[in-house]
Chains A and B, each alone.
Chain A
């Protein structure tokens, strides 16, 4: 297996193997595979970016397969694991701005305390259909946000938005987009 990121300059150092799952190292000091995120970095990122802390995510294991795709898993697995999937895709690393997956945001995003934009019902329907929209009133961070709406008495995360230059882009994957009715507020 080759390391698509170029990996280590040292031929004997372990490289990322895209055909299996490897558990993330605990800290950066434990890192053996170049470019691989550590568990602490992943936990810090969710806490810093969204305020989702270790009380929510600390019990989970994090695994990498393929270059930069991190999975969240709550069970027992051998390390490494030559299987098709472990838990669910969670976070894209090995790029300047890490990107949470839609399903991770749906699963854990209700615990977020910052960088959450709650859309009104008309905007929420446009967002889940994959439409980009102007959002000049947003005064929080740029970059990846959790996009939510009110449904059945509470806020619920829909997916990931990318906020740049006054515009909220929907990055809901094509297969998950849907034409859904505008809910009465």
Chain B
């Protein structure tokens, strides 16, 4: 079965949804402001004759209609990083500030870690963790190419992450860009639809709940946790948030994203979820001609303590 079938009841325009899922995605690059401004990247693309279009909703992100995002001078200088448009959303929702202590729980291959470092002006500390050592080497390569100097890389199971190797005992912000069923990436990699199984959905949902719970525990009172996936499955999205709301002291807060989005769903397959999951945002491929995505912002409970 094509897993996209099961999401048809959730979308406003089924034909547009299915048509968009069948179209390949353009190559997209994000400007790395640690090394260059969007203006300089644009100038360099023009000099080199690299076709590029603005995305409209972000001045540092360009679509490259001819593809090959790694085959040009701005890439060689570490001024750009190939990253799908929706993949830039969770770091924007996290809104990290210079000097913050930030945890990227499932960080490899580092697109979001390096964007977080950029948003922090490469100051403060971003702890980039992943349980997969092979994928961590890709993260390290990307962080070096982009000139990130404020990242610490760790190799732990995020579900029982220990802050003991670090110089502090709580984060200001945490990003859980969780492993998931990935149907939202089907425009880039159609194989995800063939490999999809309900067993995997249930298995990975348990992992997602464990990682999100740990992220909330590891973040200081009043701090921010962002949860994101590239799946449409409510079992891996709203149900995971519903679990965290029941298990930990936290609340879902609104998040302004610069794209057209739909609210999280409160009912699915006989289950109902906390009303506040409607503050989470769903991004469907036909709304902005992007991949599919899910993103929610949580505030950790308790009164804010200055450090």
Taking beta carbons and an 8 Å cutoff, which residues of A are in contact with B?
60, 72-78, 81-89, 101, 103, 106-107, 128, 151-154, 156, 158, 175-176, 178-181, 183-184
Contact = CB atoms under 8 A, between A and B. Distances in A.
A106 B78 contact: yes
Contact of A88 (B47, B101, B136, B147): B147
B195 interface: no
B137 to A, nearest CB: 9
Interface stretch (B151-159, B176-184, B214-222, B256-264): B151-159
B264 to A, nearest CB: 34
Contacts of A107: 34-35, 78, 147, 149
Nearest to A76: B167
Nearest to A149: B73
Contacts of B44: 151-152
A33 B106 CA distance: 35
A82 B156 CA distance: 12
Contacts of B167: 76-78
B126 interface: yes
Interface of B: 34-36, 40-41, 43-44, 47-49, 70-73, 75-78, 101, 122-126, 136, 140-141, 143-145, 147-155, 165-168
A29 B152 CA distance: 28
Contacts of A81: 152, 165
Query: 5 shortest A-B CB distances, which residue pairs?
Result: A75-B125, A107-B147, A152-B43, A85-B153, A84-B153
A73 B149 contact: yes
A158 B77 contact: yes
Contacts of B101: 76
A88 B166 contact: no
Given A75-B124, A76-B125, A76-B168, A151 B77 contact: yes
A118 to B, nearest CB: 14
Contact of A75 (B40, B78, B152, B154): B152
Contact of B140 (A74, A84, A156, A183): A84
